[in-house]
Amino acid sequence: MAGHSVPIDFWVDPVKVVNPVERETILQDILPILEPYAGVLKKVTDAAIPGGNFVSIFASEDMTLSVKLYKNGLISCTLEYLVAEEAINEHKILIDDGRKIEEELKSKLSSSRAKVLTAIKRGPSINPYYTTSDDRILEYDIEKVLFVEKSPFQKVEIVQTKSYGNILILDDLQNLAESDLSYTQALMHKDKEDFKGKEVLILGGGDGALLWELLKEEPGFVTMIDIDEVVLKACRKYLRSACGDCLDNYKGKNYEIIIGDAIAYMKNYIKEGKKFDYVFADLTDIPISSSPRGQLWDFIREIMNLGIEVLKPSGKYMTHAIGIQCESALKMFEEQMSNLKRTVEFSRSNAFVPSFKENWCFYQITLV
């Protein structure tokens, strides 16, 4: 079994919440509006809560209703009920029902505004919820889990969706979907860069999508270094529309995939004097934090310093960042570029990524 929670919010004159008689009238007015969907609701309990606010609980045979009444006039209700796992996508209050409830609340309680949201799924065996880069909730139409394995580095999942194809999930964060060619092409700065005959280094990129698209550009040679072979194993089976067959073999006529630590390999490249025309950092996103401190920022700075060190003088360091709405994180990242060991300049581009449901920011960095 799983559950549904239907959020119902509306506003009333604050005086009605403070006055005990008016408050009880609000509760009694709500019930006939919701009972066509919930059944006969009977009060279980009510109580005052801190700050001069109140809560009441009702129950029918199949549903519970919690009503929180705030002294500023906000009434926040939650209608909850159990559903069978196979019926998790079958809503008892449909969109049109929600609109009807909103209009009835406005009319009956003289509410200035009301909103009924679609049911939130509670406790399903497959989590449908992820977030944008600035923590807005996204719900995916996931049909099933195709792959899940805990590697020594992270939890690796691939889920099948109706809207975006298969999606790679790393540590419970969406990473790349079959629908997301725009992400890969934006990272490449496609049609604005010439990769033909060039030496390219990919740091990370275990989903294989960047390697696959770069190989279409006839590069001289591409070296890809990713630490987690479990990601490659999962993607070559379940993300083939994104990565093609390039993960089937770790060596090809103009590419090599290395399973290992990119930092260690770059340090060796520096010792050997090996240089690249392009270095792609297809690794972690820019973190959201109050300051550029901590292990993740240290990792980003080290990767950038090493990646820029192995560039040819005319080379470019290319990386993804985070959603464009995360302005403080992007500003912080750009400030860090002024503190690198080498002097650089950068350009910035954006692209809408379907499965992320947001515009994403990408950087092209060159030596000065």
Residues annotated as catalytic are 282
Distance CA 180, CA 53 (A): 46
Are 354 and 179 in contact, with CB atoms under 8 Å apart? yes
